[in-house]
Chains A and B, each alone.
Chain A
Amino acid sequence: MMLRASSVVRRFGAVTALQGVAVTLQAGRVHALVGANGAGKSTLARVLAGADQPDEGTLTLAGQPYAPRNPAEARALGVSMIHQELSVAPHLSVAANIVLGSETRRFGLLQQEHDQARARAALQRLGRAELPLHQLAGELPTALQQVVEIARALASDVRVLLLDEPTSSLEQHDKQRLLHLVDGLRAQGLALVWIGHHLDEVLRVADDLTVLRDGAVVARHTRGVSAEQLVHDMSGRTLRSAETQPSTCTQRELLVLRDFRPRHYRQPVNLTVHHGEIVGLAGLVGSGRSRLLRAIVGAVPHDQGSATLDGVEVARNPHHSAQHGVGLVAEDRKRDGLCLTIPIIDEVTLSRPQQEAYAGVLRSESRQQAVRACTSEVGAKLVSLQATAQTLSGGNQQKLALARLLHMHAKLWLLDDPTRGIDVAAKADIYQAVRSRAAQGQGVLVASSDTNELLQWCDRIAVVSRGAIVDIRPTHEWNADSILACAAAAQGLREEQ
């Protein structure tokens, strides 16, 4: 037994995030924490890693009482956490990043050679000895930055390693590599914690599983449990998962892209989205999926061609597009998806506030009614419309972004990875909301890295690669493998040139 927590209680004001949770981590085993958004997984992980202090409960590390007051103390005792948002210092070298915070010093001077050897040893343990120690970490792709962070934990003698949604920003190929890496660390005798929404990954990697719901442990399993069982435990109900609804596609053209070439695109795009149609954009990260969506709202300039919505020219600037019914849900909620510190009511009405205003002055009654109608249609659970979005879970935040599109009566829904970092139940709600809008004649253009999701949602799927649409077909002509093959093949083609 490595790390044991018992009867851990953590309250935030009136909300009890953890109500008497117990968990035991063992050396040489991967322990998965699963649960819906807001179930308390992250809070528990933060408590274990010293980033948060429990109000009640006891923790022991290898038999000794363990009460870290901050992450640095936990790290000194051998407990490290890798967060979803990586904390690599982009302007420092790989080696400097790996020893960051645990630099060897003698008479106040850095012992660089010793540190380089430590960094190399840490990378070797990860099977990534080939990484150049002198390269700036910011120049590495995300997957390798993550390796650098794990190496940092190893360099400071980690015994317990917590991984919070480690695959959320990785490509398929890199996800596989990470899973192998975790297998390696398990074999080296580390106690690992894996937090993730993707059940296939969880089932593949975990030896022990603890399911949390509303801050309490509802089930414990070991390797071999079924996905259905986990979903049932997490949601407390049986989800009719992956149920595809019939297409509502019409023949009326909504969005017409004619020789439309966003800046830095290799080829112009010709694409039509019909009323009631859901079109998917598949492709690897960096392929230009997001760029196309951003160009259609006018946030990224286009160098040629036109984009028309019901015959009206759009893609001039985001304000103009919003006024004409183009709504975008951005990929990264924190970066440019939501204004997290303004009241929910303002967030939802941000795109078309004039609907409930007279000469620029807001009418609070009708505004509240409109916002309530929109948020309840997407199934957002809200306490107060005056609260800020940062108090909500990721799933509810995403529902707010969708509620904004409802409120602005968007004719065209541009969704950039709308289910990223969201639990199964919230995913189902979001799919429902999008499908029902399509049924009312609105058009949807959705980009996603989750090919299964695209196959379930869409009427047609286009594959984007290196700034061009390389293929577009009805969904029934695609499967997960052919989409990936197409995206990767187009990539390879370019590299051969």
Chain B
Amino acid sequence: MAPLLGLILVVSAAVLWGLVYKPDASFASTARAALVLKQTAIVATGALGMTLVIAAGGIDLAVGSLLALCSVVMAKSLSVGHSPVSALALTLSVGLCAGAMHGLLVTWGRLVPFIATLGTMLAWRGAAEAVSSQKKISAEAPEWLSSLLDPPGASSWLPVASGVVWVLALALLLAGVLRYTIFGRRIYAIGSNEAAARLCGVPITSTKIAVYALMGCFAALAGVLEFNNLSAQGNPSSAVGYELDVIAAVVLGGGSLAGGRGSIAGSMLGALLMTTLRSACVYAEVADPLQKVLIGAIILIAVALDRWRDTAR
């Protein structure tokens, strides 16, 4: 499993570096692990939905904008006095509807997913700016909602932020769906060969709409986490480039943009690998520009290795 191997390599390299240059502050600390997990949560949430989309042979470029829209909707509805539960429900339904619309565009609209979501990527960003009047919106949120990504309090029995646990639970659920349900198996069939799946009687339209709608829900959840991360703020210009992080996580985890491949465990490890890498760079005091080059290079190497191993088989 390539991403796991990469993760082990990065962590051990950082630990070794620390032994030599920073003997008083090891890389492998619980505090850092908690921080890395927290930073991973938002990308991982998007990667859950994106795994389904990519396994079905599609792509969703609009997750970043949709995330921003959802975080703004969350903040706005709280600030105008909605209850936290109804704000949450509203946010999720915005994600669901937007995602379902993506599904309609690629099925009935017969648009290529790349183009369809390129268009809506702009549209959702504009919608986020319209809802927020192009300003950050601050809101009051109750403790259980605003502390999703905070470090666990002294009284908490969880070792990590509660949001991280939620993401893990969702990942387990979704992995089960992909592996043990008709819906999950159909996703891979569509991604493998859509024309054949159609002739075999797989309901392509409904399956695809469901996949994109789920992606929308996960973008909304990521929006809620982002709202937390910004200390109960909705920012219409947040999460620019987020879609690429999410796609990179899925591809690092073994997903193929040609469709038919991808796993939840892989995508989660892929997301974790990227944040760990960033954290290790910060720890090793690598300059920011070099950090970007490094991460880009590692994504390329990891994916290329995976493909070579595949063709060698």
Contacts and interface: CB of A to CB of B under 8 A. Distances in A.
A binds B: yes
A433 to B, nearest CB: 18
Interface string A352-375: 111001001110100000000000
A353 B182 contact: yes
A338 B193 contact: yes
A363 to B, nearest CB: 9
Interface stretch (B62-70, B87-95, B196-204): B196-204
B41 interface: no
A340 B192 contact: yes
Please indicate which of the listed interface residues B195, B196, B198, B203 has the most CB atoms of chain A within 10 Å of its own CB.
B196
Contacts of A408: 201
Given A319-B203, A322-B201, A341-B260, A330 B196 contact: yes
Contacts of A445: none
A341 B192 contact: yes
Contacts of A350: 185-186, 189, 197, 200-202
B201 A342 contact: no
Given A13-B313, A362-B181, A339 B193 contact: yes
Interface in A366-386: none
Interface residues of B, number: 23
A318 B201 contact: yes
B199 A362 contact: no
B210 to A, nearest CB: 12
A211 B277 CA distance: 57
A449 interface: no
Contacts of B199: 294, 297, 299, 318, 328, 330, 336-337
A72 to B, nearest CB: 18
Nearest to B193: A339
A361 B200 contact: no
Given A339-B192, A340-B192, A340-B193, A299 B181 contact: no
B308 interface: no
A351 interface: yes
Contacts of B157: none
A339 B185 contact: no
Interface in B175-213: 180-183, 185-186, 188-189, 192-193, 195-204
A336 B195 contact: yes
A43 interface: no
A360 B181 contact: yes
Looking at chain B's contact residues, is the secondary structure mostly helix, strand, loop, or mixed? helix
Contacts of A294: 199
A108 B93 CA distance: 60
Given A338-B193, A339-B192, A350-B189, A362 B180 contact: yes
B261 A341 contact: yes
A294 B180 CA distance: 31
Nearest to B203: A319
With most chain A CB atoms within 10 A of its CB, the pick from B182, B204, B260 is B182
Contact of B189 (A319, A342, A362): A342
B182 A339 contact: no
B191 to A, nearest CB: 8
Interface string A87-119: 000000000000000000000000000000000
Given A340-B193, A341-B192, A341-B260, A346 B185 contact: yes
B260 A319 contact: no
A321 interface: yes
A322 B189 CA distance: 16
B196 A337 contact: yes
Contacts of B181: 357, 360-362
Interface size class of A (residues with CB under 8 A): 20 to 34
A335 interface: yes
Given A337-B196, A339-B260, A341-B260, A346 B201 contact: no
A323 interface: yes
Nearest to A389: B192
Contacts of A404: 200
B202 to A, nearest CB: 6
Nearest to A13: B313
Contacts of B196: 330, 335-339
A335 B200 contact: no
Nearest to B182: A353
Interface string A306-347: 000000000000110111000010100001111111100011
A169 B30 CA distance: 65
Nearest to A362: B180
Q: Which of A341, A346, A362 has the most CB of B within 10 A?
A: A341
Interface string B153-192: 0000000000000000000000000001111011011001
A402 to B, nearest CB: 13
Contact of B182 (A338, A342, A357): A357
B201 A335 contact: no
21 contacts: A297-B201, A299-B198, A299-B199, A318-B199, A319-B203, A322-B200, A328-B200, A338-B193, A338-B196, A340-B192, A341-B260, A342-B188, A342-B192, A346-B185, A346-B188, A350-B201, A351-B201, A353-B185, A357-B182, A360-B182, A404-B200
Interface of B: 180-183, 185-186, 188-189, 192-193, 195-204, 260-261, 313
Interface of A: 13, 294, 297, 299, 318-319, 321-323, 328, 330, 335-342, 346-347, 349-354, 357, 360-362, 364, 404, 408
Given A335-B196, A354-B182, A361-B182, 19 more contacts: A13-B313, A318-B199, A322-B201, A328-B200, A336-B193, A338-B193, A339-B193, A340-B193, A341-B192, A341-B261, A342-B188, A342-B192, A347-B189, A349-B185, A350-B197, A350-B201, A360-B182, A362-B180, A408-B201
